[in-house]
């Protein structure tokens, strides 16, 4: 099994998204998969200009010559695309969305009805047959991922691929302030990666366990209050200014 893993976090390997991806990729490798990972923030990738040359003149080929050319060959030869992206303004990051837009060069301009009765484009080359999502969010509720998951699933369908699962761990502030809370989770994420490599799918009960928020909202807000204190000190605010601020995340 060949996997292309793209990290769309603007913080690359310093971010929480990568921490989750890294655990998953280690599991995939342990299970025998060949993994190519890429930090999108290190690349120079332009927006799609909608010239549609890829559809009308040079089927399958984008005219823009940039670092997408480092990604296309892996997309063409991989079985699984691992989309790693934190939630930014309720969906994937612009880095990841730009890559998705640039992948329309795999599509032909014609319209066909797919096996699920949706109108879609056929393709001149295949994106990976399976997509898998890994994400984190700043807010602690699992609903923070709803718009992202909907978009990820829609994009999977656009490319004629199948969604193989999602790992969405909310509450990235606590993941950074108290990483020890999440160690068992990283183990489970590693198991999920290994399972995917060995069996081509991950047990839904394991995904459910991984995706259940570890901390209550109240506990999360208490941990986040320490981060808020740090922010206020950096901003040179006094505690009386803090007390009159807009809400106190440490409050019960």
Binding site for ligand FMN (CB under 6 A): 9, 11, 15-17, 86-90, 136-139, 144, 172
DSSP 249: T
Nearer to ligand FMN, 63 or 231 (CB): 231
Nearer to ligand FMN, 11 or 201 (CB): 11
Nearest-approach distance from CB 90 to ligand FMN, in angstroms: 4
Q: Which residues contact 140 (CB under 8 A, 6 or more apart)?
A: 170, 171, 174, 213, 215, 217, 220, 221
Nearer to ligand FMN, 77 or 141 (CB): 141
CB 66 within 8 A of CB 118: no
Selection from 212, 231, 247, 134 nearest residue 173 by Cα: 231
Nearer to ligand FMN, 34 or 222 (CB): 222
Nearer to ligand FMN, 123 or 152 (CB): 152
Q: In this structure, what is the dihedral angle of CA atoms 19, 187, 180, 90, given to the nearest 10 degrees? A: 40
Interaxial angle between packed helices 183-199 and 204-211, expressed in degrees from 0 to 180 and rounded to the nearest 10: 160
Q: Which residue's Cβ lies closest to ligand FMN?
A: 15
In angstroms, the CA 129 to CA 161 distance is: 5
Cross-strand pairs, 170: 137
Nearest-approach distance from CB 236 to ligand FMN, in angstroms: 22
Selection from 82, 61, 60 nearest residue 4 by Cα: 82
Nearest-approach distance from CB 250 to ligand FMN, in angstroms: 19
Decide the pairing of beta strands 162-170 and 130-137: parallel
Nearer to ligand FMN, 24 or 123 (CB): 24
Where do runs of H (alpha helix) occur along the chain? 16-30, 53-56, 72-77, 94-102, 146-158, 172-177, 183-199, 204-211, 217-234, 239-243
Nearest-approach distance from CB 231 to ligand FMN, in angstroms: 13
Nearest-approach distance from CB 85 to ligand FMN, in angstroms: 8
Nearest-approach distance from CB 151 to ligand FMN, in angstroms: 13
């Amino acid at each position: 099994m060949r996997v292309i893993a793209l990290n769309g976090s603007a913080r690359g390997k310093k971010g929480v998204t990568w921490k989750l991806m890294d655990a998953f990729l280690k599991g995939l490798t342990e299970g025998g998969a060949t993994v190519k990972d890429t930090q999108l923030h290190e690349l120079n990738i332009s927006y799609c200009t909608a010239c549609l040359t890829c559809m009308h003149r040079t089927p399958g080929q984008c005219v823009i010559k940039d670092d997408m050319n480092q990604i296309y060959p892996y997309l063409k030869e991989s079985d699984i695309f691992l989309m790693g992206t934190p939630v930014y303004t309720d969906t994937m990051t612009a880095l990841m969305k730009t890559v998705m837009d640039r992948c329309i060069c795999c599509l032909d301009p014609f319209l066909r009805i797919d096996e699920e009765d949706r109108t879609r484009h056929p393709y001149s080359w295949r994106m990976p047959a399976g997509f898998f999502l890994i994400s984190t969010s700043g807010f602690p509720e699992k609903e923070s991922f709803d718009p992202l998951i909907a978009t990820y699933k829609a994009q999977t369908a656009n490319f004629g691929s199948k969604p193989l699962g999602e790992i969405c761990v909310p509450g990235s502030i606590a993941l950074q302030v108290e990483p020890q809370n999440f160690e068992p989770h990283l183990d489970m994420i590693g198991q999920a990666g290994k399972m995917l490599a060995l069996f081509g799918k991950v047990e839904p009960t394991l995904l459910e366990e991984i995706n259940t928020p570890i901390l209550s909202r109240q506990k999360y807000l208490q941990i986040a209050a320490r981060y808020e204190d740090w922010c206020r000190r950096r901003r040179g605010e006094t505690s009386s200014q803090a007390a009159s601020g807009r809400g106190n995340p440490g409050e019960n």
